[in-house]
Amino acid sequence: MANDNSEYTVARRLLEVNKAIEAVLLGGQAVKIGSRTVTRADLKQLRAMRDELEAQIAAATPSPLMPDTYVAFFDGR
């Protein structure tokens, strides 16, 4: 059950990172409101975070290709 909770956490973080990427792409890296400037997270870092989170999700997802398959090497004699 703890794994399901961590999966949700990773999926939730991925959703938030994708929202942040969209905000940068649509609204720009920095926004000026009056005399104040708000700088959003760096797009390169956000993309790196997205790639890492997607890799975590992919690693936790079982592959249907060859379940329960093992590799063995035998030394020829």
Dist CA 18 CA 20 (whole Å): 5
45 pLDDT tier (thresholds 50, 70, 90)? very high
| Of the candidate ranges 6-15, 16-25, 57-66, the one whose mean pLDDT is the lowest | 57-66
Q: What is this structure's pTM?
A: 0.65
Dist CA 56 CA 64 (whole Å): 17
Is the pLDDT at 7 greater than 60, yes or no? no
